[in-house]
Amino acid sequence: MLTKILPAVRGLMAKDNILPRLARVEPSGQEPAISVPPGCADVLCELRRQLPAGATRVTLDTLGTYEAVFPAVSGRVAGKIAVVTGAAQGFGFEIATDLARQGAWVALADINVDGVNAAAARINAACGREAAIGVAVNVADADSLRAALEQVVGAFGGVDLFVANAGVLRAGSVKDLSVKDLDFVTSVNYKGYFLSVQTVAPIMALQHQAAPGLWFDIVQINSKSGLVGSNKNGAYAGSKFGGIGLTQSFALELVEDGIKVNSICPGNFYDGPLWSDPQKGLFKQYLDSGKVPGAKTFADVKKFYEAKVPMRRGCTTPDVMKAIYYLTEQAYETGQAIPVTGGQVMLA
């Protein structure tokens, strides 16, 4: 119920095209009380009818009292509400950290419950404010996503930026990769992205209906493997190619709801656990699978891949953040797959 009401309230409380965060507060008895009948066919129309112009507090029947909180910090995404999946570690955690540093309210979502709560606490300590929350989610499960977004909306009031970062990889030849590994990669990277957009898009659309001058962003963290094939890594590359197909299709459909949808295709992020985990990381997987001829150590694998990049280094979080901020600030860009690869992949 929260996701069907609070985003609309938030949109109606916008001032000068700035959306507030909605914070749960104790009722004072002075704020307007609104009751939306169960099964109401047009929630937004009902809210417009009952919510006085200029109201900044409201008591919603059965949901509680909420107050509009406008940005008190500066930054490139000041006051925006962001969700980052796969945020307990690696790229996701660092993306969430930078968004909070730039003034956003951030929900870190991850299947690793303890890890994501600890990650949110680290962000809050670094920011000196309650900028982040941890949310448990399995992006391959629709019910889990709905519950997670309900929690996010309950905490902040809506969603302005959704970063679909959660991803997994199982390297292996098409000759012997198990169906179990194929299904695992596809369920998270492809199905998980589809379900994430399916769940968050109605929230953003409701905000746009309430405040038609405002637009919202979905950004998928894809991969250079979504732009070019990857030897002995077909399950991953296929899921990422499919993700770009989803991005282009979503962009065409959701533009009418005030939602821009884009992908970012980073090069190799060697410092994150996807590569560096000593037991499950890509250095180990690629070494064990023989993907790098003659490689004997992780260092051999890294050197092999760095040599493929004209800039002779891996991708970093600041590289990716520049692309994220470009996409959120550029009002005339949707359906794109932007490479951030140091020249390893160049588009025609």
Q: Which two tokens stand for residue 273?
A: 């656990």
Q: Write the single-letter amino acid at 9.
A: V
Quick check: is 163 in a domain?
Answer: yes
Quick check: is 21 in a domain?
Answer: no
Q: Which residues pair with 261 in a beta bridge?
A: 218
Q: Give the domain range for residue 236.
A: 72-267+315-340
Quick check: is 291 in a domain?
Answer: no
Quick check: is 29 in a domain?
Answer: no
Quick check: is 156 in a domain?
Answer: yes
Which CATH number goes with the domain that contains 324? 3.40.50.720
Q: How many CB atoms lie within 10 A of CB 259?
A: 24
Quick check: is 217 in a domain?
Answer: yes
Give the closest residue to 103 by CA, choosing from 128, 134, 67: 128
State pTM to two decimals. Answer: 0.94
HEC sequence for 52-71: CCCCCEEEECCCEEEEEECC
Quick check: is 50 in a domain?
Answer: no
- Catalytic residue check, 190: no
278-335 pLDDT, tens digit per residue, is 888 888 888 888 888 899 999 999 999 899 999 999 999 999 999 999 999 999 999 9
How many CA atoms are closer than 13 Å to the CA of 177, on its beta-carbon side? Answer: 20
329-341 pLDDT, tens digit per residue, is 999 999 999 999 9
Quick check: is 192 in a domain?
Answer: yes
CA angle 9, 13, 19 (to 5 degrees): 100
Among the listed residues 66, 190, 236, 305, the single catalytic one is 236
pLDDT of residue 62: 86
77 φ/ψ angles, rounded to the nearest 5 degrees: -130, 35
Q: How many domains does the chain have?
A: 1
